[in-house]
Every structure is written in structure tokens, then in C-alpha cells.
A = this chain, B = another copy of it.
Amino acid sequence: MTLTTSPYDDDHLHEECAIYGIFGTSDAAAHTALGLHALQHRGQEAAGIVATDGTTFNVHRGLGHVGENFGEDNQEVMDQLVGHSAIGHTRYSTTGETALRNVQPLFADLEFGGFALCHNGNLTNALQVREGLVRQGSIFQSTMDTEVIIHLIARSRRASVVDRLVEAMNQVEGGYSLICMSKDTLIGLRDPFGVRPLVLGKIGDAYILCSETCGLDIIGADFVRDINPGELVVIDAKGVRSFFPFRPRPSRFCIFEYIYFARPDSMVEGHSVYAARKGIGAELANESGVDADVVVPVPDSGVPAAIGYAEASGLPFELGIIRNHYVGRTFIQPTDKVRHLGVKLKHNANRGQLEGKRVILVDDSIVRGTTSTKIVEMVRQAGATEVHMRIASPPTTHSCFYGVDTPERSKLLAAQMSVEEMAEKIGVDSLAFISIDGLYRAMGEAARNNDVPQFCDACFTGDYPISLTDYTGGRTRQLSLLAEAS
């Protein structure tokens, strides 16, 4: 089975991962499976859960969706994932190829007992650290950056798990959230800049750590609070304790979480994602309004911004493009034989809403521009007299190194062309992106603070808050000489 995400999705950035952990309920793995299902949008290539009963660590990891690994056809697996505490992960790979050895959570038998870990984000000096560890005789199982953390913990001479973890994390750099589990402790951690999200929830007497609040909602858990940047929380039989063991840094939460990654029904760092997207749409209407008949979203990710745009502009909102919801991981092959037909696998024009009309298309972002070009052509063929595209993010000009799968800069359309050139290539009558300050205004800020920006917006600005050790100086990216045949 080919495990790339559908090529028809290739025009978006992708979040690497969701992470989930729960402590203090007899059904820990079942809760975790549900939570990961709610977070499936953050990674669809693989899923894994480790549960512990205080002694044994029961694990299952597999390629594919959460439901394919922990669903109705896997009852035997679920029955074996016994434990009062569990952590889980869904993966969309950037670092490390897609292979079973790279499916999280990671586990190791350490001196003090079993230890499991899952991770959302990216370490920017993992290669450097790994080289040093290999020289000392550490044997790596995977090609994941995450694995260096386990080895640093294994070699630490500190007494407690928490002290070992702090010692390890002081040796790595990056943008990440972590959840770790020992036999009697669940630990959560965000990097000092707080680039990736992590929230705390509660259901009955059990505590939950997870990437987004929709992972709490699905099981009816209460949202307690966001974990803070640089905060480490320890959850055990005594409850929740909070530590700040790292040098404090200014908060730089990933602004793209609001634009595309997070689910619209999640609350992230105090903001409703849906409201943020509507706000961006409204701001976009204010910044670059145009005379037209109808506002049409590129479904599904453009819908909230389009609703905001329509409200602010007073134009009608219509589903002028219909998405086929049966586009899944295995999909119809537009074979060479039929590819020339301009096959419309994912989207179809709703001709009655487009014919003879001046259309404003609203989408969340443009990465390579390939999907946009096809959609505009389809809308014109359906009879639109004008097509104006409005994008609910600034031009994506830089790669992300903090846990998001981005094409190389040379593949980013906005890194290669001006807005006018892009408009011509995509074939629209006009094209506008929200301004960087407009984006910050939609988030409730007066403007971007260019000295100490309120968010990480490196993909739009190239302003990288965390050092990129492994990505400078020509370091080789080959982590293992082993190639699995399959």
C-alpha cells in the first residue's frame, strides 16, 4: 500500500502529528483511541498507543488511520492495551521515512523501568546530538529526531525520570510538544517558545494532555487550560504539578495553526479557531474587496473564511464547489489513459451557482498553486464571468523547520513569483492575500510587533525564532544505512 497522502492534497502544508495522553482511568487506551480519532486531521500516515498498568507497557503501532488500527476491527488489540495510563500519536512524517520503525510512541526499557514518549514538532539539532550519541555506542532504532531524547534520558545519571528528562531536553533545540509516560507518571512539555500546542483536560479523576481541545470534546472531558510555553507538567497519583525548568523565552505560537492546521471547533491558546478564520475572512474583505456576485469557498478549509468574507462584504455565500467526501487514502487512479480528461476527483463545480456570475473564491493558502489553477479553470468552465481569488493567509514564502511538512522553497509558488505573476499563472482576474498585519489584527493584535513578534510566522516572514543547527553547514540527512524492502 502506498502511504503517501493523496496527491490531490498536495497543495497544503501538513501538520506532522497529534499527541495524546491520559492518566488515571481504567480505560486509558480506549479514551486515547477516541482522542486520537478527533485529532486525525493532524496526521494520517500512522497511529500508535502505549498503555501501562504500572508494570507492563502494552503497545500497538501501525500504518494507517486511527480507526484502522484501534477501531471495530481491532477489538483484540484494544483488549490487550490494558492500563490506567496511556499515550498515543498520529503521524504525518517529515523527519524520518514512513516505516513501521518510525511510528510513535517510542518505547525503551531503561534502567528505572519502561519509558514511552510521543512528540509533535521537530528538533533542530537532532542530527548533531545523534552523531555524538552514536560515537558513544548508542544504537538507534529509528530515523526520528525524537529518538535522541530517549537516548539522552537513558544515559542521564540523574535519579528521577523528570530530572533525566529535563537534562535531556536542555541538550536539544526545536519547536515541539512532548508527552512521556513512565509506569506511574504522565509528563507533558512544551518548548520554551511554545511553537506547538498542548492542552490540559480532565474527565472524572483522570487528566488528559493533548494537542487540541477537540480531543477533549469527543469524550466529554473538560478543558482545564493550555500548557504554557516552556512548562513541564507532571501528572501522577498525587495530581498535577507544574515546572518551568528551561530558560524563559518569548511566546511564539505557530500562527498557521489558526489558518489551517487546527480543527475549527478547537480552542487554541484562548482563541476559537473558527472565529479566527472568520475574522481573517472579514479582514480580507476589508483589505481587498472587489465587486462581485457571490462568495464561494474552496471546500472544506476555505469555508469559515468565506463565511467571514461574505458577512463583511454583504455578498451571498454559496457552495459553488462541491467536494467528494469519498476521496480517501486509497483512491481512484486517474490512469494515463484518462488523465487528459482533466479528471475532477476531489472537487466539482456547482454550475448553477457559478454560471454567469462574478465569483470570489476564498481559500486558506497557496503552496504550490497546482490545485488553485485547476479549480479556477473548473470554475471558469462552469460559466463564471470573473474569478477573484482571496487567500486567508499571507504568501507562504519560507519552509517550516518546527514540525510542519513544507516543500522546499523552490516549490513554494510565493517564493518564486510576485502576486501579479501568481495571479496570471493561476488564471484569476485578481488575486489578494491577507497582509501580515491584517492577519495579526484578525488575531486581536493591533499589528505585528516586529521586534518581538507575538506568533511564529516564519513561513511568511523567514523570521525563525529557534536556531536551525542541523539545517546549516551541509550536514548529511541520511540517518540510517538500513533500507527496509517491502
Contact = CB atoms under 8 A, between A and B. Distances in A.
B139 A348 contact: no
A2 B72 contact: yes
A109 B481 contact: yes
Contacts of A81: 485
Contacts of A485: 58-60, 76-81
A151 B139 contact: yes
Contacts of A335: 27, 30, 75, 78
A168 to B, nearest CB: 11
A342 B220 contact: yes
A272 interface: yes
A13 interface: no
A328 B68 CA distance: 9
Interface in A92-117: 107-111, 113-114
A56 B481 contact: yes
Contacts of A150: 139
A484 to B, nearest CB: 6
Given A55-B481, A265-B322, A337-B27, A332 B37 contact: yes
Contacts of A481: 55-57, 109, 113-114, 183
A117 to B, nearest CB: 12
Interface stretch (A311-319, A406-414, A455-463): A311-319
Nearest to A213: B351
A218 interface: yes
Interface stretch (A185-193, A280-288, A299-307, A426-434): A299-307
Contacts of A348: 38, 214, 217-218, 263, 265
Given A27-B335, A58-B485, A330 B109 contact: no
A18 to B, nearest CB: 11
Interface stretch (A130-138, A172-180, A464-472): A130-138
Contacts of A1: 73
Contacts of A398: none
Contact of A324 (B2, B37, B183): B37
Contacts of A72: 2, 330-333
A482 B265 contact: no
A154 interface: yes
A44 B328 CA distance: 13
A326 B30 contact: no
A67 B332 CA distance: 5
A264 B351 CA distance: 10
A345 B34 contact: yes
A218 B57 contact: no
15 contacts: A2-B72, A34-B332, A34-B343, A44-B326, A57-B482, A65-B330, A71-B332, A107-B482, A109-B481, A141-B141, A203-B341, A263-B322, A265-B351, A267-B352, A311-B316
Leading 8 A-B pairs by shortest Cβ distance = A137-B155, A80-B485, A272-B352, A114-B481, A265-B322, A137-B154, A27-B337, A40-B326
